[in-house]
Amino acid sequence: MSTDPLDIKFMQRFPKNLISNVTYFVLHIAIGLMLVPFFLDTLGTAAYGLIPLATSLTGYVTLIIDSLNTSISRFLTIDLQRADVKRANETFNTALFGTLGVILLLVPIALAAAWYAPVFFNIGDQSKKDVFLLFALIFGSVLIRTWSSSFMVTLFAYNRLDLRNYVNCVYLFIQLIMVVTLFLFIGPSLVLVGLSYAVAAVATLVISFTLSKRTCPFLKISLAFFVRSRLKEIGGMSSWVLINSVGLLLNTQVALIVVNKLFGEVAGTEYSLAAVWSTLLINIAALVTNLFSPMTYSYYSKQDREGLIHFTSMTIKVIGLSMALPIALVCIFSPQLLTIWVGAEFAHLAPLVWICVAPVILQIMVSCISPITVAYNRVRSLVFLTLPMGFLNLILALLLPYIFDIGMYGVALAGLITLLLRYGVINPLFIASVIQIPVLTYLKKMLYGIGGLLVLSVVGIALLSVVTISTLPTIILIGGGIAAAYLLFVLNIVLHPEEREIIRSCLPRVCQKKIPSWIL
């Protein structure tokens, strides 16, 4: 059985995807920033530190599932691009039931991890039962959301990332409403935090299933389409994506665990307040860079190598220059942001924010080209280059705090070193070799984002040396001025006319009519 080849309508759907990204961007920031002081005021500093710790551990629980979804997205998109409905049904159902099997296997592991969490971590005077239930409910919510992501793979294949984002918005809303309502009527409790995650996850599962059926009605849920050989093919790639993800987590999420174990729960809370900004910026950038994955797979399925090179080179340049601005502003105004957000007593963490946040510009730019390794099925080769970086990060995180007597700053420094090696050297050079172009091609494009970050940082530091900034309106005014000057310079001097035209065409028509041609 076949149908017409899938047209992902990248340019036509980009505005809708962009608007949904902005919507989710605003909600993610607003809700995330509001909940932190809310939890600090209601639960206390020590208890709050357990929440980001629990959510960071979910990254380990979902490693296998995320690797499966990455592999499924690749195979399903290519099947639909080639108009092979029978093979697409086999891919969808094999992945759907295979993922369910993995989730069921992970349930006892998740429960065991939650059971030992109160023993393994520093929990202060918190109830062991409450801590167990917090971890168990959050782990459970992740597994439920994982099952819902099996249905949202269809939305990815159709480039309906706007629908995916709106599902995520619903998740945030339900979680916020649940936790605030439960705290007001029952009282502050770690258990209720976990319950809000679980309820929101169940709701998004129902919505994801409904949207998947409406988007692609010819994909039927049936065990008859389950093919073991297809499972082996998908699982083979997934296993290497999994190992690669382990290395990534050893580069990122392990820091909170190390800080908690070495320096206690209060230090863990302080570190999470700095690290949350890097996580937030990476997630925000991912809402844009994820738009490029279906296009990458589309170029590959059509064997359009030149188109892929041109597309990815432009995305690195544009995304690097774009994300340099918010990254620089967070670093420049970190003392003021921390003071306004959680109180003046945390302003001393500003240097830690710089160490955690500034290097993510490299990770964000590399994410524009990371789908190439999946499309070309070269994840295995990349793993042997990047996995050692994860173990190096863990070793350095345990050693540097004591070698230099700098406490949790040593853990952050370890992450900085290994992140520079992974995303500043290994990944861009390897990915360039995959599509057989000069190895420095992508690295040269990354210099635009790095240069933008350096210029903004120097200007911001110089400005703060002569201007006193202590209030939110002042931050908005000064930050807005820096942003306006930077964007005008980038749009009119740095970017080529072709790049400006592509950016303009991707904007909603209302924006195209309102923005003067001398700006974009």
- 84: β partners: 2
In this model, does residue 372 exceed pLDDT 90? yes
Give residue 445's pLDDT.
95
The CA-based angle 215-219-224, given to 5 degrees, is 160
Cβ(509)–Cβ(371) under 8 Å? no
Tokens of 405: 């007597």
In this model, does residue 520 exceed pLDDT 80? no
Q: What is the pLDDT of residues 328-366, one digit of tens each?
A: 999 999 999 999 888 888 899 999 999 999 999 999 999
In this prediction, residue 2 has a pLDDT band, given cuts at 50, 70 and 90, of very low
DSSP labels for 387-420? Answer: HHHHHHHHHHHHHHHHHTT-THHHHHHHHHHHHH
Which amino acid makes up residue 90? E
In 10 A of CB 127, how many CB atoms? 14
Summary count for the chain: helices (H), strands (E)? 24, 0
Name the DSSP class of 84: B
Looking at per-residue pLDDT, the higher value among 67 and 194 belongs to: 194
Give residue 301's pLDDT.
81
Percentage of the residues of the chain whose pLDDT score is greater than 70: 94
Side-chain half-sphere CA neighbours of 322 within 13 A? 18
- Rounded CA gap, 153 and 14, in Å? 18
- Rounded CA gap, 212 and 428, in Å? 34
- Rounded CA gap, 141 and 187, in Å? 22
Of 211, 209, 233, 207, the closest CA to residue 221 belongs to: 209
Per the prediction, the chain carries an average pLDDT of: 85
Q: What is the pLDDT of residues 420-454, one digit of tens each?
A: 999 999 999 999 999 999 999 999 999 999 999 99
Tokens of 347: 């302003």
Helix, strand or coil for residue 221?
Answer: coil
What residue spans of 2-84 are helical by DSSP H? Answer: 10-43, 45-48, 50-61, 63-81
Give residue 364's pLDDT.
95
SS3 percent helix, strand, coil of the chain, rounded to 5, is 85, 0, 15
Residues in the chain: 520
In this model, does residue 1 exceed pLDDT 60? no
Tokens of 428: 């861009």
In this model, does residue 4 exceed pLDDT 60? no
Greatest mean pLDDT range, 3-17, 59-73, 186-200 = 186-200
Of 62, 233, 58, the closest CA to residue 147 belongs to: 62
Greatest mean pLDDT range, 221-225, 238-242, 315-319, 466-470 = 315-319
Q: Compute the radius of gyration of the chain from its Cα atoms.
A: 23
In this model, does residue 377 exceed pLDDT 90? no
Mean of pLDDT values over 47-53: 79
- Rounded CA gap, 450 and 458, in Å? 12
